């Protein structure tokens, strides 16, 4: 749009009447800043509107003058309450008399007493500073503790994420698995159960420790065995921490049964420890 078209459009007048929307306002302000002709047209429109308004002026009732000027003045009084009133200028030069000397001595004594008072006050303040710095130290310690807790939480989170990833991998590797529930064969843990998922096509075995007792002593691992031709073949070791997870073991082409024993860490060639759960296929 050319400058002339812009001036002829009526947007300037709409702007002056306060009826331009935000985009239009910006447009007018931009044009005004760039083109003196537009600025002149804006001034002209303003003057026209202002004379239009002026000739329609309405005198307020005479009593309004005092009322409004009073209200404005009250605004200032309210403000003044917060203002600092300067102290009287001290008068300089004075005659020194005995009375004055006596007064000075009294003042000096008073000053000593006041200093003593101040001193005790300073001690109090000092104690307070000590107390505050002790509190600051406490706070700093607790910040440190928080940082450590955060680190521990982060580590735990990392462990859990890894374990979740493992489980997901195991799940993905399994396709139409056969579910083999191994039941307790150990009298002191009759509720113990673990589940073997045995993939029908890949023959991959996964173990879910389920309700196998959580291992508290270190240096031990559960070991999964496949019974092939009457002989136990190690499928692998697994642990059962507090985060029970599905664990991918290895491919077992065939088996007549599965069993879990508790062995020393890392597993053994043939079962030595107690058998916990078992299932025949």
Identify residues 8-47 at the interface with other proteins (CB under 8 A).
Answer: 8-11, 13-14, 16-19, 21, 44-46
71 binds other proteins (CB under 8 A): yes
**Exactly one of 4, 75, 115, 146 binds other proteins (CB under 8 A); which one?**
75
**Exactly one of 2, 5, 36, 59 binds other proteins (CB under 8 A); which one?**
59
Nearer to other proteins, 3 or 189 (CB): 3
CA neighbours within 13 Å on the CB side: how many for 30?
Answer: 8
73 binds other proteins (CB under 8 A): yes
Nearest to 249 by CA among 239, 236, 260, 262: 236
User: What is the nearest approach in angstroms of other proteins to the Cβ of residue 26?
Assistant: 15
Give the number of other CB atoms < 10 A from CB of residue 262. Answer: 20
User: What is the nearest approach in angstroms of other proteins to the Cβ of residue 35?
Assistant: 17
Cα(278)–Cα(181) distance, integer angstroms: 8
User: What is the nearest approach in angstroms of other proteins to the Cβ of residue 87?
Assistant: 23
For CA atoms 30, 35, 39, 44, give the dihedral sign.
negative
50 binds other proteins (CB under 8 A): yes
User: What is the nearest approach in angstroms of other proteins to the Cβ of residue 17?
Assistant: 4
Cα(250)–Cα(261) distance, integer angstroms: 17
**Exactly one of 2, 56, 179, 254 binds other proteins (CB under 8 A); which one?**
56
Count of residues interacting with other proteins (CB under 8 A): 38
User: What is the nearest approach in angstroms of other proteins to the Cβ of residue 77?
Assistant: 11
Cα(149)–Cα(196) distance, integer angstroms: 37
Contact 12, 42 (CB under 8 A): yes
Cα(212)–Cα(51) distance, integer angstroms: 95
- Using a CB cutoff of 8 Å and minimum separation of 24, what contacts does 160-164 make? 160/243, 163/243, 163/245, 164/245
Nearer to other proteins, 19 or 84 (CB): 19
Burial class (CB in 10 A: 0-12, 13-18, 19+), 44: middle
Nearest to 231 by CA among 208, 254, 249, 209: 254
81 binds other proteins (CB under 8 A): no
4 binds other proteins (CB under 8 A): no
User: What is the nearest approach in angstroms of other proteins to the Cβ of residue 16?
Assistant: 8
217 binds other proteins (CB under 8 A): no
64 binds other proteins (CB under 8 A): yes
Nearer to other proteins, 57 or 90 (CB): 57
User: What is the nearest approach in angstroms of other proteins to the Cβ of residue 59?
Assistant: 5
Cα(18)–Cα(26) distance, integer angstroms: 13
Contact positions toward other proteins, by CB under 8 A? 8-11, 13-14, 16-19, 21, 44-46, 48-61, 64-65, 67-69, 71-73, 75-76
């Amino acid at each position: 749009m050319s400058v002339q078209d812009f001036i002829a459009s009526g947007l300037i007048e709409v702007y002056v009447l306060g009826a331009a929307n935000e985009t239009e306002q910006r447009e007018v302000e931009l044009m005004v800043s760039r083109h003196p002709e537009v600025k002149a047209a804006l001034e002209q429109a303003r003057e026209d509107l202002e004379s239009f308004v002026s000739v329609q002026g309405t005198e307020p009732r005479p009593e309004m003058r005092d009322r409004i000027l009073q209200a404005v003045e009250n605004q200032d009084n309210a403000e003044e309450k917060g203002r600092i009133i300067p102290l009287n200028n001290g008068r300089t030069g004075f005659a020194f008399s005995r009375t004055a000397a006596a007064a000075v001595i009294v003042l000096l004594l008073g000053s000593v007493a006041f200093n003593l008072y101040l001193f005790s006050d300073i001690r109090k303040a000092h104690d307070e500073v000590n107390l505050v710095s002790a509190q600051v130290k406490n706070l700093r310690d607790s910040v440190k503790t928080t940082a450590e807790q955060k680190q521990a939480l982060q580590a735990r989170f990392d462990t859990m994420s890894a374990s979740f990833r493992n489980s997901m991998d195991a799940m993905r590797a399994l396709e139409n698995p056969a579910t083999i529930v191994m039941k307790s064969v150990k009298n002191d843990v009759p509720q113990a159960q673990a589940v073997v998922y045995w993939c029908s096509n890949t023959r991959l075995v996964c173990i879910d420790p389920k309700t196998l007792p959580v291992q508290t002593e270190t240096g031990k691992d559960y070991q999964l065995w496949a019974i092939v031709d009457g002989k136990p073949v190690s499928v692998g070791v697994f642990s059962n921490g507090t985060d029970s997870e599905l664990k991918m073991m290895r491919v077992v082409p065939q088996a007549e049964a599965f069993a879990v024993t508790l062995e020393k860490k890392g597993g053994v060639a043939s079962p030595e420890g107690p058998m916990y759960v078992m299932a025949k296929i």
